[in-house]
């Protein structure tokens, strides 16, 4: 019997496996794909903070970024820039492989082409029923960590709830022409409710993708045609990858002998859909929680509830404010987005925010709260009459300040 079964060999799963194996636990990672680091729908953009946490091999970094161009529906842009490196664009499949290798070096075992189908919780153990090379197989451990990524029904079957607000993503790698900065497109006709991107990687390659509420592949084809007409990418047949991105956390991320981490738990930035860094942070919290539970010989839901308390303490406020901002953006039309761009650029709001020491690639709540403090933007919100918990609370703070 294993100490810990980890379901999924993505960054969060392998990071947990590495931490737990280093502490001396008998860990097995079950990965449904035939190899670690297979096809993913991920831009591979991580912050310097996340990069330093991982301390990966330098060869994994395809490009460093300190700036980006944000485009309004009209085509007008705002360039955001800081003097120091803000992000690393990494080889995501290679990152997955590297993290898995590090976990194996600590003693974690990896079994590939094993698809977990069901989980049964017993008094003294947990059993994972799986399909391995088209044959049924069962694995037993003291506890299971679900790090399968978004879309697994296992948490719901265990009574932990479901994530009902999510985005759909589509991305493709293409040949680019003279693009050396990240480009982000805010256009409700191009990516309804969300945004699209063009991310240069290495050489003349780039990743083009978007998030939308439905039919992302259809909008991606429109985006590709637009970028081709602008001469930014070179036409070619390409393999499109798809994914679902959770926008709200799972209601409950723990139970008797079970813990849920990363995208499977909805630990993802609602503003950008990025989940690598938050998944790693929560994997570290999970490793510490499980260690304490093993030491106490208590893997009950009550004991493991400390995990959710800790990650809520670290990420709860951030996820809530980011979600409110996401909901606000979803209600804007293109004319309103263009107007907000004009207000931001003409008043230099983006420059004043970037000058703040609180600006962070991973922590967006301070940027959002700083932005809505500007009277010019508050007048725009009042004019559009778009009310969300975020704008409502901002208005209340503004009234209190005036009083």
Give pLDDT tens digits along the chain (403 positions): 999 999 999 999 999 999 999 999 999 999 999 999 877 778 889 988 898 888 767 778 899 888 899 999 999 999 988 888 889 999 999 999 999 999 999 999 999 999 999 999 998 999 999 998 889 999 999 999 999 999 999 999 999 999 999 999 999 999 998 888 999 999 999 999 999 999 999 888 999 999 998 999 999 999 999 999 999 998 777 788 999 999 999 999 999 999 999 999 999 999 999 999 999 999 999 999 999 999 999 999 999 999 999 999 999 999 999 999 999 899 899 999 999 998 888 888 787 777 777 777 888 888 888 777 777 777 777 776 655 555 555 444 444 443 3
**Residues 127 and 233 occupy one common structural domain:** no
Q: What CATH number corresponds to the domain at position 26?
A: 3.50.50.60
pLDDT of residue 305: 98
**Residues 234 and 253 occupy one common structural domain:** no
**Residues 110 and 23 occupy one common structural domain:** yes
What is the distance of C-alpha 350 from the center of its chain?
Answer: 24
Domain-embedded: residue 83? no
Q: What CATH number corresponds to the domain at position 202?
A: 3.30.9.10
Name residues whose C-beta falls within 8 Å of residue 348's C-beta, 6 or more positions apart in sequence.
Answer: none
Domain-embedded: residue 60? no
pLDDT of residue 71: 96
Domain-embedded: residue 125? yes
**Residues 298 and 338 occupy one common structural domain:** no
Pairing of strands 67-71, 77-81: antiparallel
**Residues 151 and 185 occupy one common structural domain:** no
pLDDT of residue 395: 43
The domain boundary, picked from 245, 261, 284, lies at 245
Domain-embedded: residue 324? no
H helix or E strand, kind and range, residue 242 = strand 241-246
pLDDT of residue 291: 98
Q: Structural domain tally of the chain?
A: 3
**Residues 360 and 384 occupy one common structural domain:** yes
Q: Report how far apart, in Å, the C-alpha atoms of 237 and of each of 146, 198, 221 are.
A: 36, 17, 11
What range does the domain containing 294 cover?
A: 2-44+91-164+247-318
pLDDT of residue 178: 80
Spell out the SS3 assignment of 335-384: HHHHHHHHHHHHCCHHHHHHCCCCCCCCCCHHHHHHHHCCHHHHHHHHHH
Rounded to whole angstroms, the Cα distance separating 105 from 91 reads: 21
Domain-embedded: residue 132? yes
Rounded to 10 deg, the angle between the 365-372 and 301-330 helix axes is 40
**Residues 131 and 272 occupy one common structural domain:** yes
**Residues 344 and 367 occupy one common structural domain:** yes
Closest to 42 measured CA to CA, from 259, 274, 222, 358: 274
With residues binned 3-state (H G I as helix, E B as strand, rest as coil), the percentages for the chain, rounded to 5, are 40, 25, 35
Give the burial class of 295: count Cβ atoms within 10 A of its Cβ; 0-12 exposed, 13-18 middle, 19 or more buried: exposed
**Residues 237 and 105 occupy one common structural domain:** no
**Residues 239 and 345 occupy one common structural domain:** no
**Residues 159 and 285 occupy one common structural domain:** yes
The domain boundary, picked from 221, 245, 269, lies at 245
Domain-embedded: residue 78? no
**Residues 146 and 292 occupy one common structural domain:** yes
Domain-embedded: residue 298? yes
- Euclidean distance between the first and final Cα of the chain, in Å? 65
Please answer whether residues 16 and 286 qualify as being in contact, where contact means their C-beta atoms are separated by less than 8 angstroms: yes
Domain-embedded: residue 51? no
């Amino acid at each position: 019997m294993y100490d810990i079964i980890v379901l999924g060999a993505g960054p969060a799963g392998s990071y947990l496996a590495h931490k737990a194996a280093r502490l001396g636990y008998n860990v097995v990672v079950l990965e449904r794909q035939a190899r670690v680091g297979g096809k993913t729908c991920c831009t591979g953009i991580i912050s310097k903070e996340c990069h330093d946490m991982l301390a990966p091999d330098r060869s994994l970094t395809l490009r460093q970024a300190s700036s980006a161009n944000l485009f309004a529906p009209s085509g007008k842009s705002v360039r955001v820039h800081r003097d120091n490196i803000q992000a690393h664009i990494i080889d995501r499949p290679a990152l997955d492989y590297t993290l898995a290798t590090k976990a194996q070096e600590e003693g974690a075992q990896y079994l590939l082409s094993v698809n977990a189908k069901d989980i049964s919780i017993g008094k003294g153990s947990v059993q994972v029923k799986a399909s391995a090379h088209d044959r049924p197989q069962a694995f037993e451990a003291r506890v299971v960590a679900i790090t399968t990524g978004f879309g697994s029904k296992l948490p719901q079957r265990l009574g932990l709830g479901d994530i009902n607000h999510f985005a759909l993503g589509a991305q493709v790698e293409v040949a680019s022409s003279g693009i050396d900065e990240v480009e982000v497109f805010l256009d409700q006709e191009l990516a309804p409710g969300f945004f699209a991107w063009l991310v240069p990687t290495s050489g003349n390659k780039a990743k083009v993708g978007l998030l939308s509420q439905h039919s992302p592949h259809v909008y991606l084809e429109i985006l590709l045609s637009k970028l081709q007409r602008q001469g930014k990418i070179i036409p070619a047949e390409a393999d499109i990858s798809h994914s679902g991105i959770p926008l709200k956390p799972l209601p409950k991320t723990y139970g008797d002998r079970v813990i849920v981490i990363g995208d499977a738990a909805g630990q993802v930035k609602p503003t950008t859909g990025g989940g690598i860094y938050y998944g790693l942070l929560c994997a570290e919290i999970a490793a510490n929680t499980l260690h304490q539970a093993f030491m106490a010989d208590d893997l009950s839901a009550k004991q493991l509830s400390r995990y959710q308390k800790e990650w809520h303490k670290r990420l709860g406020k951030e996820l809530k404010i980011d979600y409110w901002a996401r909901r606000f953006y979803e209600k804007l039309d293109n004319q309103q987005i263009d107007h907000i761009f004009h207000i931001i650029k003409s008043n230099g709001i983006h420059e004043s925010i970037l000058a703040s020491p609180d600006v962070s690639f991973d922590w967006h709540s301070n940027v959002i709260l700083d932005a809505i403090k500007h009277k010019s933007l508050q007048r725009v919100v009042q004019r559009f009459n778009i009310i969300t918990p975020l704008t409502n609370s901002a208005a209340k703070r503004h009234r209190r300040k005036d009083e």
